Copies of this chain bind each other. A is one copy, B any other.
Amino acid sequence: MKIQPLADRVLIEPAAAEEKTIGGIIIPDTAKEKPLQGTVVAVGKGTKDEEMVLKAGDQVLYGKYAGTELEHEGKKYLIMRQSDVVAVLA
């Protein structure tokens, strides 16, 4: 059974070690909001206001407090709106 995000939401599997992420991006420890990194697992179909540009497999950065946590078959996921994703690693 798969989790299919609705509308402009994306399902993300956070990177294992959030402080030392894949791709060599180290997130500094400051007072500012820090983006975290993960892998897109599934995307919604978008809305008329928000076309989906992300796809499964994309490595993305997102805000620390973005999205909603859930756990499925032993893995932790985040589900958030595409607009809460700030960048993709390419």
Contacts and interface: CB of A to CB of B under 8 A. Distances in A.
Nearest to A90: B4
Contacts of A53: 6-7, 45
Contacts of A85: 6
A88 B3 CA distance: 6
Given A28-B76, A76-B28, A7 B70 contact: no
Given A11-B87, A28-B76, A87-B11, A3 B71 contact: no
Interface string A51-90: 0011000010101000011111100100100110111111
A52 to B, nearest CB: 11
Contacts of A24: 1, 72-73
